[in-house]
Amino acid sequence: MSETTPDAPFVRYEVQDDGFAVLTLDSPHNRNALSSRLVTELLAGLEKAAADSAVRGVVLTHTGNTFCAGADLREAIDADPAAAADIRTGWMVAVLRRILELPKPVVAQVDGNVRAGGMGLVAGCDIVVAGRGSSFALTEARLGLAPFVISLTLLPRMTPRSAARYFQTGETFDAAEAERTGLITVAADDPAATVQRLRSDLRKGSPQGLAESKRLTSAPILAEFDRQADTLAKRSGSFFGTADVIEGMTAFFQKRPPSWAE
């Protein structure tokens, strides 16, 4: 696990010998939560990869035992709820759209826990490889919320029955189930080795061929994304500060069941 220092990046960027830019979420102290700093650095890394003609694709991975825990609830609870919610939903819309429209393949390499907003990141990627010990959950309903904005990437990937179940129950499920539902591409014993093989295969495609092939698969998702994003962002922001959300987040930090679960 990387040591967190004030000057250390929350997202490390490295272009490797095969031309893939590896973006590593490296904020283990808060389980790679989507803090203002991490989101800013992630967007910057995606822009840098998009602008570099030598970069053939992107690998999104992580340090620690959590790929991404979703929103940074400490930031959420310490700020004005309505204003903070608008900012956070704007960040999420920007990150998800950038992954989808990036004219290069984005491969997620996951070997740990994925929660809430992290699920949206995973669903936005073109290819997702997860270690068999990885776990997944959409816990928003347990906080009085719903996976509003991340539904833009989750619903096109997951089967309707699995989305209806996991959006509402908040259950944790494993990599094998994530593969069955369409959330991930493959559950692997060795995710790093599997991603390396995929990188080799992707390099056989020309930059133009890869960009146009991705455009074909992303176009329907982006069309619905652009149609729904503003509405879903407004719905998301309108729920912060409500009694259920205040109770849900307070219970979360106090490590107790919320009133409706007692």
> With 0-12 CB in 10 A as exposed, 13-18 as middle and 19+ as buried, what is 250?
middle
How far apart CA 42 and CA 36 sit, in angstroms, is 10
Q: Which residues contact 36 (CB under 8 A, 6 or more apart)?
A: 72, 75, 87, 91
pLDDT digits (tens, 9 = 90+) for 119-139: 999 999 999 999 999 999 999
Which DSSP letter does residue 18 get? Answer: T
6 pLDDT band, cuts 50/70/90, is low
How far apart CA 36 and CA 47 sit, in angstroms, is 17
**Given the structure tokens 């095969």, which residue do they identify?**
18
Best CA proximity match to 117, nearest among 174, 191, 66, 188: 66
Which DSSP letter does residue 141 get? Answer: G
Domains of the chain, residue spans: 11-192
86 pLDDT band, cuts 50/70/90, is confident
pLDDT digits (tens, 9 = 90+) for 24-56: 999 999 999 999 999 999 999 999 999 999 999
Q: Are 66 and 33 in contact (CB under 8 A)?
A: no
CA angle 192, 8, 112 (to 5 degrees): 30
Q: What is the pLDDT of residue 134?
A: 98
Distances (CA, A) of 69 to 35, 66, 121, 131: 10, 7, 11, 17
What predicted TM-score, i.e. pTM, was given to this entire model? 0.93
3-state secondary structure of 100: helix
Q: Which residue has the higher pLDDT, 104 or 236?
A: 104
Other C-beta atoms lying within 10 Å of the C-beta of residue 125: 24
* CATH number, domain 11-192: 3.90.226.10
